[in-house]
Amino acid sequence: MLVRPLVLASASPRRRALMAMAGIPHTVRPADVDETPPPGMDPAALVQHLAMEKALALAALHPDELVLGADTVVAVDGSILNKPTDADEAARMLRRLAGRAHTVYTGLALVHLASARRVCLHEATTVFFAPMTDDEIAAYVATGSPLDKAGAYGIQDDRGALHIERIEGDYYTVVGLPLHRLYRTLRTTFEDWLAGG
């Protein structure tokens, strides 16, 4: 099915790695968009909005290409936790997540302007964090890894995984790209394009 590469409008190394792992041909051209959340937007709507903004920004420059935009946020108690600005904020986020559940939302947008096709969706996965001591939080933050991740932790290839008891939903949503939903959407909406038609 996947003959022609799509364009990934993301600088995320985790998304690039997932695309490669899944054998989805792609090129990487990060989109430059304002990611400031519009006021009052819930997490599900926000990740779809930002994913579509990224896809549209790049598709406007490459209308004959199929562009994939994606965005991920962590939400707890109705608040969105973005990437922490420094180590102190990362520690505060981890204290807030420790010993309880939160939800990770990832939005996907696929846009092919030349055929006027666009799809936008999201997946949500619940993550259950174990309690963490102050020493555990400090040790994790000291690695520097939490600083480039929404919610200040990573579930993959990272010490953050040591503190996750279980999840309910799609693991890859937490990593940043729900692969099954992406694959099904490509098959149902863009198969002719991907096959070179």
Residues annotated as part of the active site: 71
Distance, in Å, from the CA atom of 5 to the CA atom of 28, rounded to the nearest integer, reads 10
Continuous H helices in the chain: 13-21, 43-59, 87-97, 134-142, 171-175, 179-189, 191-194
Q: In degrees, to the nearest 5, what angle opens at C-alpha 58 toward C-alphas 33 and 25?
A: 120
Buried b (16+ CB within 10 A) or exposed e, 68-104: bbbbbbbbbeeebbbbbeeeebbbebbebbbeeebbb
Q: Which residue has the tokens 């990060």?
A: 30
Q: Determine the length of the chain.
A: 197
Residue 3 CB: number of other CB atoms within 10 A? 10
